[in-house]
Structure 1
């Protein structure tokens, strides 16, 4: 039987507890500012990659 690997938070790189959703971890464990910074950095990196 195959086992599922645990989900890792893309922001803090902690493993999300079994039975817990990533969305719940993000809402409960990270501030709006931290989430916004992460999203902004991802968009900027994507745009830089797209240009080159």
Structure 2
């Protein structure tokens, strides 16, 4: 039984864990390869690069 009465609340919690694992895996691989998808997206949106990638 869910606390808030919503049957999909458990699934949303699990999706947050998968999202966190995905972000962590991207950070780990970018430490070795220097490739960061978010940096490319932010650069296209006009953000100034910090010089790391």
TM-score by shorter chain over 0.5:
no
Query: Shorter-chain TM-score: which interval?
Result: 0.3 to 0.5
- TM-score by length of structure 2 reads 0.42
Decide which structure has greater helix share.
Answer: 2
Of structures 1 and 2, the one with the larger relative CO (CA 8 A, separation 6+) is 1
